[in-house]
Structure 1
Amino acid sequence: MNKAMKLLIQGKVQGVGYRRWFAKQALELALKGYVQNLQTGEVEAMVVGDEQVIQELLKRSLVGPSRAEVSRIIQTQVQPDPNLNDFKILC
Protein backbone atom coordinates (compact mmCIF):
# COMPACT_ATOMS: atom_id res chain seq x y z
CA MET A 1 0.00 0.00 0.00
CA ASN A 2 1.34 3.41 -0.95
CA LYS A 3 2.01 6.03 1.68
CA ALA A 4 2.61 9.72 1.14
CA MET A 5 4.97 11.86 3.21
CA LYS A 6 5.63 15.57 3.07
CA LEU A 7 9.19 16.33 4.16
CA LEU A 8 10.62 19.64 5.32
CA ILE A 9 14.40 19.37 5.10
CA GLN A 10 16.33 21.90 7.16
CA GLY A 11 19.97 22.90 7.29
CA LYS A 12 22.39 23.91 4.55
CA VAL A 13 20.30 22.44 1.74
CA GLN A 14 20.06 25.21 -0.86
CA GLY A 15 22.84 26.05 -3.30
CA VAL A 16 24.50 22.65 -2.74
CA GLY A 17 22.71 20.50 -5.35
CA TYR A 18 20.33 18.99 -2.82
CA ARG A 19 17.18 19.01 -5.02
CA ARG A 20 18.93 17.32 -7.94
CA TRP A 21 20.54 14.77 -5.58
CA PHE A 22 17.19 14.12 -3.85
CA ALA A 23 15.38 13.62 -7.17
CA LYS A 24 18.05 11.13 -8.28
CA GLN A 25 17.59 9.13 -5.06
CA ALA A 26 13.79 9.19 -5.37
CA LEU A 27 13.92 8.02 -8.99
CA GLU A 28 16.42 5.27 -8.08
CA LEU A 29 13.94 4.06 -5.45
CA ALA A 30 10.97 4.37 -7.86
CA LEU A 31 9.17 6.94 -5.69
CA LYS A 32 6.77 9.55 -7.04
CA GLY A 33 6.40 13.16 -5.97
CA TYR A 34 8.39 16.38 -6.09
CA VAL A 35 11.12 18.40 -4.43
CA GLN A 36 11.43 22.19 -4.28
CA ASN A 37 13.28 25.01 -2.57
CA LEU A 38 11.32 27.22 -0.19
CA GLN A 39 11.96 30.92 0.40
CA THR A 40 12.77 30.05 4.03
CA GLY A 41 15.98 28.31 2.93
CA GLU A 42 14.48 24.87 3.50
CA VAL A 43 13.69 22.17 0.94
CA GLU A 44 10.22 20.66 0.74
CA ALA A 45 9.56 17.25 -0.74
CA MET A 46 6.52 15.08 -1.28
CA VAL A 47 7.18 11.38 -1.72
CA VAL A 48 4.69 8.63 -2.52
CA GLY A 49 5.52 4.94 -2.42
CA ASP A 50 6.09 1.92 -0.22
CA GLU A 51 6.68 2.85 3.44
CA GLN A 52 9.96 0.90 3.68
CA VAL A 53 11.27 2.58 0.53
CA ILE A 54 10.35 6.01 1.91
CA GLN A 55 12.25 5.15 5.11
CA GLU A 56 15.32 4.28 3.01
CA LEU A 57 15.06 7.66 1.28
CA LEU A 58 14.82 9.37 4.67
CA LYS A 59 18.04 7.68 5.83
CA ARG A 60 19.84 8.81 2.68
CA SER A 61 18.36 12.31 2.94
CA LEU A 62 19.86 12.90 6.38
CA VAL A 63 23.29 12.61 4.74
CA GLY A 64 22.51 14.26 1.40
CA PRO A 65 25.10 15.33 -1.17
CA SER A 66 28.65 16.12 -0.01
CA ARG A 67 28.18 19.91 0.35
CA ALA A 68 24.86 19.69 2.23
CA GLU A 69 24.49 19.78 6.00
CA VAL A 70 21.06 18.44 6.98
CA SER A 71 20.11 19.41 10.53
CA ARG A 72 16.57 18.05 10.63
CA ILE A 73 13.79 16.48 8.54
CA ILE A 74 10.22 17.12 9.64
CA GLN A 75 7.87 14.40 8.37
CA THR A 76 4.13 14.72 7.93
CA GLN A 77 1.99 11.88 6.64
CA VAL A 78 -0.53 13.09 4.06
CA GLN A 79 -3.03 11.56 1.66
CA PRO A 80 -1.44 10.23 -1.56
CA ASP A 81 -2.13 12.47 -4.56
CA PRO A 82 -3.38 10.26 -7.42
CA ASN A 83 -2.09 12.86 -9.93
CA LEU A 84 1.54 12.22 -8.98
CA ASN A 85 2.81 9.71 -11.53
CA ASP A 86 6.52 10.61 -11.67
CA PHE A 87 9.12 12.59 -9.71
CA LYS A 88 9.79 16.26 -10.49
CA ILE A 89 12.06 19.07 -9.39
CA LEU A 90 9.94 22.18 -8.94
CA CYS A 91 11.22 25.76 -8.92
Structure 2
Amino acid sequence: MTRRVHLIVSGRVQSVGFRMFIDRAARELQLSGWVKNLTGGNVEVNAQGAAPMIDELIKRAETGPSKSQVTGISIRELEPDSSLSGFSVIF
Protein backbone atom coordinates (compact mmCIF):
# COMPACT_ATOMS: atom_id res chain seq x y z
CA MET A 1 0.00 0.00 0.00
CA THR A 2 1.35 3.41 -1.01
CA ARG A 3 1.22 6.13 1.63
CA ARG A 4 2.06 9.84 1.33
CA VAL A 5 2.70 12.12 4.28
CA HIS A 6 3.46 15.78 4.91
CA LEU A 7 5.66 16.36 7.97
CA ILE A 8 6.64 19.52 9.81
CA VAL A 9 9.59 18.77 12.09
CA SER A 10 10.34 21.27 14.83
CA GLY A 11 13.20 21.75 17.27
CA ARG A 12 16.88 22.27 16.50
CA VAL A 13 16.59 20.92 12.95
CA GLN A 14 18.36 23.53 10.82
CA SER A 15 22.16 23.86 10.40
CA VAL A 16 22.60 20.35 11.83
CA GLY A 17 22.43 18.27 8.61
CA PHE A 18 18.77 17.36 9.08
CA ARG A 19 17.78 17.73 5.40
CA MET A 20 20.71 15.56 4.28
CA PHE A 21 19.83 13.01 6.98
CA ILE A 22 16.23 12.81 5.69
CA ASP A 23 17.40 12.72 2.06
CA ARG A 24 19.73 9.77 2.80
CA ALA A 25 17.05 7.92 4.77
CA ALA A 26 14.37 8.47 2.10
CA ARG A 27 16.65 7.22 -0.68
CA GLU A 28 17.63 4.19 1.40
CA LEU A 29 13.94 3.46 2.03
CA GLN A 30 13.12 4.00 -1.68
CA LEU A 31 10.72 6.86 -1.02
CA SER A 32 9.88 9.74 -3.34
CA GLY A 33 9.30 13.36 -2.41
CA TRP A 34 11.32 16.24 -1.02
CA VAL A 35 12.61 17.98 2.11
CA LYS A 36 13.21 21.70 2.72
CA ASN A 37 13.87 24.24 5.46
CA LEU A 38 11.08 26.62 6.45
CA THR A 39 11.71 30.24 7.42
CA GLY A 40 10.50 29.71 11.01
CA GLY A 41 13.27 27.18 11.76
CA ASN A 42 11.28 24.01 11.04
CA VAL A 43 11.85 21.42 8.33
CA GLU A 44 9.11 20.33 5.91
CA VAL A 45 9.05 16.83 4.43
CA ASN A 46 6.76 15.43 1.75
CA ALA A 47 7.34 11.69 1.34
CA GLN A 48 5.60 8.87 -0.48
CA GLY A 49 6.18 5.14 -0.67
CA ALA A 50 5.38 1.80 0.90
CA ALA A 51 3.56 2.27 4.22
CA PRO A 52 6.21 0.42 6.33
CA MET A 53 8.96 2.59 4.80
CA ILE A 54 7.02 5.78 5.59
CA ASP A 55 6.67 4.57 9.18
CA GLU A 56 10.44 4.02 9.30
CA LEU A 57 11.16 7.50 7.90
CA ILE A 58 8.93 9.06 10.57
CA LYS A 59 10.73 7.04 13.25
CA ARG A 60 14.12 8.26 11.97
CA ALA A 61 12.86 11.86 11.71
CA GLU A 62 11.83 11.71 15.39
CA THR A 63 15.50 11.11 16.28
CA GLY A 64 17.29 13.02 13.52
CA PRO A 65 21.05 13.33 13.14
CA SER A 66 23.22 13.49 16.26
CA LYS A 67 23.40 17.33 16.44
CA SER A 68 19.65 17.82 16.05
CA GLN A 69 17.07 18.00 18.79
CA VAL A 70 13.57 17.19 17.55
CA THR A 71 10.84 18.56 19.80
CA GLY A 72 7.83 17.68 17.65
CA ILE A 73 6.53 16.32 14.37
CA SER A 74 3.22 17.25 12.78
CA ILE A 75 2.03 14.45 10.46
CA ARG A 76 -0.66 14.92 7.84
CA GLU A 77 -1.77 12.14 5.51
CA LEU A 78 -2.06 13.10 1.84
CA GLU A 79 -3.47 11.39 -1.24
CA PRO A 80 -0.74 9.51 -3.14
CA ASP A 81 0.64 11.43 -6.13
CA SER A 82 1.66 9.27 -9.11
CA SER A 83 3.79 12.12 -10.53
CA LEU A 84 6.28 12.00 -7.61
CA SER A 85 9.54 10.28 -8.47
CA GLY A 86 12.89 10.36 -6.74
CA PHE A 87 13.71 12.29 -3.59
CA SER A 88 15.27 15.75 -3.48
CA VAL A 89 16.46 18.46 -1.14
CA ILE A 90 14.92 21.84 -1.95
CA PHE A 91 17.35 24.68 -1.21
Q: Which TM-score band applies after superposition, normalised by the shorter structure?
A: over 0.9
**Residue in 1 aligned with 2:3?**
3
String of CA shifts for 1:6-31, please: whole Å, max 9, x gaps: 00000000000000011000000000
Number of aligned residue pairs: 91
String of CA shifts for 1:30-51, please: whole Å, max 9, x gaps: 0000000000100000000111
String of CA shifts for 1:67-86, please: whole Å, max 9, x gaps: 00001110000112222110
**Residue in 2 aligned with 1:12?**
12
Query: Quick one: distance in 2 between partners of 1:59 and 1:67?
Result: 17
Q: Percent identity?
A: 37
Q: Does 1:87 align with 2:80?
A: no
**Residue in 2 aligned with 1:46?**
46
Query: Quick one: distance in 2 between partners of 1:61 and 1:19?
Result: 10
Query: Quick one: distance in 2 between partners of 1:83 and 1:39?
Result: 27
Q: 1:82 aligns to what SS in structure 2?
A: coil
Q: 1:53 aligns to what SS in structure 2?
A: helix
The amino acid across from 1:20 in the alignment is M
Which sections of structure 1, spanning at least 5 residues, go unmatched?
A: none
**Residue in 1 aligned with 2:76?**
76
The amino acid across from 1:41 in the alignment is G
Structure 1 runs of 4+ with >6 Å offset: none
Q: 2:59 aligns to what SS in structure 1?
A: helix
- Tell me how large the CA RMSD over aligned residues is: 0.7
Q: Does 1:56 align with 2:70?
A: no
Q: 2:81 aligns to what SS in structure 1?
A: coil
TM-score under structure 1 normalisation? 0.96
